[in-house]
Amino acid sequence: KPAGLAVQGGAGVQQSLEDLLGAFAKSNGKRPRLVHRLDRETSGVIVAARTKPAAAFLSEAFAGRDVQKTYLAVVCGGAPEPRSGEINLALRKTNQRGLDIMVIDASGQSALTRYRTLAATPAAALLELSPETGRMHQLRVHLASIGRPIAGDARYGGALVLDGCPVPRLMLHAKALTFPHPAGGELRIDAPVPADMAALAAPI
């Protein structure tokens, strides 16, 4: 999925990934079903099921945490300390000035993110992220909570200019998914890093 494409329709959405899946509809009108989501500004791998039984199987795999998710993010402020570790902070959804946001709240839903630093400068770092849970804005809030917001993430404190370079969007990419296949075995799907993110990460 490219950055900027909403997964589902809603207010202000003219075209969504769900709409585009209509191009793969069968003659009876049945179309592939999305089994998870990505934020509109996040690029990368997203899975759709071709049949209803496959959708149920894959949805259960996501719910049961049988899916390995790998993301890449460019964050502000250099390498986190420690350079690798985990963030285990519960999240709760709230609304501020008409925007849905997630906040850290011990009474919220559990959320766990593992991270490791791949490269860093004093101004930025390239991180590999492995979320164990799939809460709304989880990676964005967790990284902001350790003082390393994702570049381009104005909602959670990410800079729009990084070391003199403009940040065109949220620098978060769903790099790979490994999941059980409905027909048996495992499947891994990788998505190449988009050019705008690769250009921003190159000097790191």
Q: Is the per-residue pLDDT at 157 higher than 90? A: yes
- pTM for this one? 0.94
Instruction: Give the CA count within 13 Å in the CB-facing half-sphere of 50.
Output: 5
Contact present, 115 and 127 (Cβ < 8 Å): yes
Per-residue confidence band for 9, with pLDDT thresholds at 50, 70 and 90: confident
Which pLDDT does position 120 carry in this prediction?
98
Residues catalogued as catalytic: 39
What average pLDDT does this structure show over 65-82? 97
Mean pLDDT for all residues in the chain: 95
Q: Is the per-residue pLDDT at 26 higher than 90? A: no
Q: Is the per-residue pLDDT at 56 higher than 80? A: yes
CA dist 117 and 120 (Å) reads 7
User: Of 194, 174, 153, whose CA–CA distance to 72 is shortest?
Assistant: 174
Angle at 21 between CA 57 and CA 132, to 5 degrees: 40
What average pLDDT does this structure show over 28-55? 94
Contact present, 140 and 149 (Cβ < 8 Å): yes
* Among 20-34, 35-49, 125-139, the least confident range: 20-34
